[in-house]
Structure 1
Amino acid sequence: MSTSAPPPIAEPVESGPPTGRRSPTALLRRVWRDPGGRIGIVLMVLMILLALLGVSGLLPHGPIDQAPQDRLQGPSGRYWFGTDQFGRDIAARTFAGIFTSLRVSVVSVLAAAVIGTFLGVLAGFLGGWVDQVIGRLIDILFAFPAILLALALVSALGSGWVNTAIAITVVYAPIFARVARGPTLSVAGSEYIRAGRVLGIPTSRLLLRHVLPNVAAPIVVQVTLALSWAILTESALSFLGLGTQAPDASLGLMVSDARNLVSTAWWTLVFPAAAIVLLVIGLNLLGDGLRSALDPRQTSGTRPRRQRLTGTRGRTS
């Protein structure tokens, strides 16, 4: 497995004075009206329910329970997705693997969003040498292919889902910094920000009331995009034996174990691989729906554009 293509970067929304906050309910309705967003919501709700089912203990077989007498059994009423070479229930392990992927991805991406947004807003608002230092740091991290940087960090920190989350955080924080810096630069140079500085309004108030509302929309969209790429990165690291370790369930680890069994036991590969595909598709469709809902042109009476994401990050692995 590989994450060779660079993750896309959300196109910033138009900047300007905040015009009011859209409630989560209203935002969800706008996303639901988008066909792709609707499919993304349905897929992600399904994946989350399956993940919770996998760790709830309600399934007849646990993800690490072994039944050697039932090894390599095909899908049936007893084993929905069949069993692996150790007699473990593929369905239970797939659902638990979805939970593992979501846990690692959510923790790492939220941490990357907080750190990266802070650095991007700081660089864009203060400018000068602060912008130069943060910019050079981001350029250094962008110089490394994403998967190679993650491999190097996990190799140095050690395997396990916590260290995998730390590595993904370091890899994706620069993306959020770059996404946050653009809108911040635009807002920082506006007349109302300059007027606020002249009037002596505290910087913290300017950031909270005028900068962060303009940064929030592209950051929210970038979170959904980064989640899909974080799932691929976590799966790739586990596939290589550097992420989640056996006997814990991981989709990437399950795909790795099934490499030599696919010709005789196709179910050991198909179901965990399908779970990865559905997670990535669901998150990308949800991100596209969010981008449509948060685009100010959606409420301006102009016809929205469907293509709103650009792969401007020039990294390859």
Structure 2
Amino acid sequence: MTRAATLVAPAPRTAGQPSLPRRIVADRNGLIGVVLVGLLVVVAVVSLVHLGQDPLAQNRTGQLAGPSGAHWLGTDQFGRDIAARVAAGVFASLRVALVSVGMATIVGGLLGVLSGFAGGVLDAVVGRCTDVLFAFPATLLALALVAALGHGWFNTAIAIAVVYTPIFVRVARGPVLTVRESEYVKAGRVLGFSRSRLLFRHVLPNVGAPIAVQVALALSWAILTEAGLSFLGLGTQPPSPSLGLMVSDARNFFPDAWWTLLFPALAVVVAVVGLNMVGDGLRNALDPRRS
């Protein structure tokens, strides 16, 4: 399971302080991560126009052809253009990651904030449910959920969201427990502020930073998990392009056709490393101790 983000509440931005994007790119890891993720986004967008090649088009006379002017990254065992398939695979991975992490953020963040702020029975129930999910190895739970839900990218996204929701519950609940006992929240209660005002005006602003960092880290984990599930044949199904599925198919042709394995595997590495570096840069940018 990917490590949860740990971060103290960010200090208010003062006059003359650089904006958040500038603070991220000012950090070396953040800058490298932004460049790598930006490259992936460009590749995913380009995939929508097929790079001049259809990722599903087969060419029986051009099987396992090496990189050339006609096929920048070569072709696979069916003569399909690997560059077009890698680009489409990046798009598919980002789609699954964004949907799954979006669902986990909304559900997990909401449950974490409400349970931490309300306490009592709700906190106990949510805590026990997250403990149950944490008891299962993340990959094994994702495999079981995909097997139960069936194949397809959306079912894969749901499985990843369920696995990762407990992390967001913990990440959101921790700062809420600290903030709700702070002096200004106690003063608000004495002054008769409503619970909704305390929650939205004083508690939620202190939860955004750690959740933002966790989102970046979760996206990298989701891409890796989607690739792993597709590698095992439980994620994206052929002939749809998938980085994990391409790596799985390429095992039979490596090292004679090394390009069939290298480029999809490299895309997965770039995605995971880039998003992790963005998370590191975001954490450093939001850490008031570094201001």
TM-score, normalization by structure 2:
0.96
8 Å CA contact 1:12, 1:182 repeated in 2: no
Find the aligned partners of 1:216 and 1:13 in 2 and give their Cα distance: 11
Aligned to 1:89: 81
Amino acid aligned to 2:22: R
Q: Tell me, what secondary structure is at the counterpart of 2:127? A: helix
Deviations 1:20-62, CA, capped at 9 Å, x for gaps: 599xx810000111111101011111110001111223x2211
5+ unaligned residues in a row in structure 1: which ranges? 1-5, 300-317
Does structure 1 conserve the Cα–Cα contact (< 8 Å) formed by 2:97 and 2:157?
A: yes
Which one of 33, 47, 70 corresponds to residue 78 of structure 1? 70
Q: CA RMSD in A?
A: 1.6
Q: Deviations over 1:71-123 (max 9, x none)?
A: 10000010000000000000000010000000000110011011111111111
Q: Report how far residue 154 of structure 1 moved.
A: 0.4
Counterpart Cα distance in 2 of 1:251 and 1:176: 27
Number of residue pairs matched by the alignment: 290
Matched-pair contact (CA < 8 Å) for 1:105–1:231:
yes
Matched residue SS, 1:277: helix
Picking from 36, 41, 62, the partner of 1:43 is 36
* Letter in structure 2 aligned against 1:123: S
Separation in 2, partners of 1:200, 1:257 = 64
- Matched residues in 1 for 2:180 and 2:14: separation? 20
**Map 1:56-71 → 2, pairs under 5 A:** 56-57=49-50, 59-71=51-63
1:12 aligned partner: 7
Gapped regions of structure 2 (runs ≥ 5) = none
Secondary structure, counterpart of 1:184 in structure 2? helix
2:155 equivalent among 159, 163, 170? 163
Q: Select the structure that is richer in helix.
A: 2
Q: In 2, are the aligned partners of 1:12 and 1:179 still within 8 Å (CA)?
A: no
CA–CA separation in structure 1 for the residues paired with 2:99 and 2:195: 29
Q: How does 1:126-205 map to 2 (within 5 A)?
A: 126-205=118-197
Q: Give TM-score scaled by structure 1 length.
A: 0.88
Identity rate of aligned residues, in percent?
A: 62
Specify whether residues 134 and 209 from structure 1 end up closer, same or farther in structure 2 by C-alpha distance, changes over 3 A only. Answer: same
Task: Tell me the distance in 1 between the aligned counterparts of 2:122 and 2:189.
Answer: 19
Q: 1:26 aligns with which of 19, 28, 39?
A: 19
Cα pair 2:9 2:209 within 8 Å, conserved: no
* 1:228 equivalent in structure 2: 220
2-structure distance, mates of 1:21, 1:189: 25
